A and B are shown apart, each in its own frame.
Chain A
Amino acid sequence: MTPVVELDRVGHRFAAKGGAGTTAVADLDLAVRRGEFTTLLGPSGCGKTTTLRMIAGFLRPTSGRILLEGADATRTPPEKRNIGMVFQSYALFPHMTLLDNVGYGLRARKVPAAEARERAGQALELVGLSHAAGRKPAELSGGQQQRVALARAVAIRPSVLLLDEPLSNLDARLRVQMRRELLQVQRETGLTAILVTHDQDEALELSDTMVILNGGRLEQQGAPRDVFPRPASRFVAEFLGYDNFPELPGRGPATIRPEHVRLLPAGEREDGGDTGLDGTVAAVTYQGAGCLVEAGIDGAEGPGSAVRCLHPADDLRPGDRVRIVLPARHLVELPAGEQR
């Protein structure tokens, strides 16, 4: 099946006065399948918004091609791309009622007035705002405005729904609720969606595929279930909240979540296949249900010489000798040479 959106070695360089300019996106390949929810995830400046704006047609790639529904759309203006875009700032037309806002794309498509009104009404109903159809955007709360923006994008039955950090202007509680609603609308309409976000929880919860970008380059992509337990680089691991980066003697850098590390009394052996290291407890922080124990690896020095462990009992003190066990199914070995 042809991907709905395909990026073929797409790059974008912003020109700078007299200088070389900056590379926002470099050689990005991406294929978004029909009905899938894809997130572009990364810290600010990673190129995720630039990528989305290129897919929408607001920015032209400086290299590579963009294919929409299999056809080269690299030079197609945004109004001819059949995209439904939801902006971080909502960008509702302030002089129009909600119904007119939602019907705008239909009128632009020369859909007959009666049908346009009906479809706009349906889209408003989908986001639970049919009762406010005659109001102006300024009368609504942020969450309601976001719903209208979503309805407006959905109403045109776009080939792809583009969402540019749509939830980041909402407060934390509303954000979680809107996440569910967003997913529900996407499932109900069966639309293909691409969401830009810097929020890993949002990406984990919404994505069929998450695409992690770093400095304009693809860092890792895959289903959350595959990416989260197996980060491919220290960058991805840190971005997903890993904060334990021991250097395994003779094997190189690795990462593991503190709750997966086990500490055995010195002298005991781990199961075959798991990694065991001798070490000494350096610090113990009591946390009620257990303790956060920092253990130094024997013979190691520098930043990777300690492992942090969520230990279920309060039976260790600094100076105690322990066997640090890193279970094979949770230990992620990282490529060496990545300086952070």
Chain B
Amino acid sequence: MIAMIRTRPLLSLLAAAAFTLMLGPVVILTGVAFTAGETLAFPPEGLSLRWFSAALDYPPFIDAFGTSLLVAAVSTVLALALGVPATLALNRGRVPGRKAVEGLFFAPVIVPELVLSLALFQQVMVGMRVTALGALVVGHTVLLLPYTVRVVGASLALADPRLEEAARGLGSGPVRTFFTVTLPVMAPGIVSATILAFITSLNNVPLSLLLTGPGVATLPVEMLNYVQSSFDPVVAAVSVLLLALSVAVAFATERVAGFTKVFGR
């Protein structure tokens, strides 16, 4: 570390600046959340958990958190249910116009989310009278599809396409081959895709912004609403909780089913 600073001073400085820029605001926000004072000020005026308890006592946040978890869970499952077969077909089957189909699955990343949000609001919520929750699930599923298709596809693309043939040659029918070879080979990809999709959904704002209804909004949108009217450290406390949850999900999943473990390296 010290040697690094001495031999590459400019690079070290840039790295330090990048880390400060990325992590600085998070550190400040975390500090603010633990303040005992009344305002969003840094450094905090004394330490307390009062804003955390205030956040947990504020029903719209609790409801919104419930909505967020529900939307994230359901749309992650749906995106996997649609994305895994799609990526299997794209990587292992003979799909006419493969490139075009792949492009289609990647499109939600390119279309501005706010545009998608407006379209869903106008066509699905107003036009088809679907509830805000339904529209949220549809929207988030579309948003997460590129992740599931790509990440699971990557683990398939890395695996030897002869594995399935080897299994067939050894006497396994197509179904047994899928469950004993293809699925285990995809497993690390499915695990990463699940984490990535769940966290992406949980933290999304632009897509969820217009998809609200009476008593229905995701947590980040509810936080945005809150900041527009009041300016106290409750929002900081909620942010820290959301951050902690995201990190915990990522860590736990990596621990339980890390890729390294699956491949025995």
Interface residues of A (CB under 8 A from B): 56-58, 77-85, 87, 89-95, 104-105, 108-109, 135-136, 138-139, 152-153, 156, 162
Which residue of B159, B165, B171, B187 is within 8 Å of A105 (Cβ)? B171
From DSSP, what is the main secondary structure of chain B's interface residues? helix
CB interface residues, B 232-264, toward A, < 8 Å: 262-264
In the complex, chain B residues whose CB is within 8 Å of the CB of A82 = 171
In the complex, chain A residues whose CB is within 8 Å of the CB of B180 = 93, 104
Most buried by B among A83, A93, A105: A93
* B46 at interface by CB-CB < 8 Å: no
Question: Known: A91-B163, A93-B163, A95-B184. Contact between A136 and B263, CB under 8 A?
Answer: yes
Inter-chain contact B264/A136, CB cutoff 8 Å: yes
Which residue of B has the minimal Cβ distance to A100? B180
A70 CB, nearest partner CB in chain B, Å: 20
Which residue of B has the minimal Cβ distance to A53? B165
In the complex, chain B residues whose CB is within 8 Å of the CB of A139 = 264-265
Q: Number of residues in B with C-beta < 8 Å to the partner?
A: 23
Which residue of A has the minimal Cβ distance to B188? A95
Cα distance A94–B173 when bound, in Å?
Answer: 19
Which residue of B has the minimal Cβ distance to A95? B184
Inter-chain contact A152/B170, CB cutoff 8 Å: yes
Cα distance A136–B167 when bound, in Å?
Answer: 17
Cα distance A89–B160 when bound, in Å?
Answer: 8
A160 CB, nearest partner CB in chain B, Å: 11
Interface residues of B (CB under 8 A from A): 159-160, 162-163, 165-173, 176, 180-181, 184-185, 187, 262-265
B46 CB, nearest partner CB in chain A, Å: 53
In the complex, chain B residues whose CB is within 8 Å of the CB of A81 = 169
Inter-chain contact A95/B263, CB cutoff 8 Å: yes
A36 CB, nearest partner CB in chain B, Å: 20
Question: Known: A108-B172, A108-B176. Contact between A138 and B265, CB under 8 A?
Answer: yes
Inter-chain contact A91/B170, CB cutoff 8 Å: no
A125 CB, nearest partner CB in chain B, Å: 19
A-B contacts, 19 listed (Cβ < 8 Å): A58-B165, A58-B169, A78-B165, A78-B169, A79-B169, A79-B170, A85-B166, A87-B162, A89-B162, A91-B166, A93-B180, A94-B185, A95-B185, A95-B263, A108-B170, A109-B171, A136-B263, A138-B263, A138-B265
Which residue of B159, B162, B173 is within 8 Å of A79 (Cβ)? B173
Inter-chain contact B165/A87, CB cutoff 8 Å: yes
Which residue of B has the minimal Cβ distance to A87? B162
Which residue of B has the minimal Cβ distance to A78? B168
Given contact pairs A79-B168, A91-B165, A94-B263, a sample of 9 additional A-B residue pairs in the complex whose CB atoms are under 8 Å apart: A78-B169, A85-B165, A85-B166, A87-B162, A89-B162, A90-B160, A93-B163, A104-B170, A108-B170
Question: Known: A93-B181, A95-B184, A136-B264. Contact between A77 and B159, CB under 8 A?
Answer: no
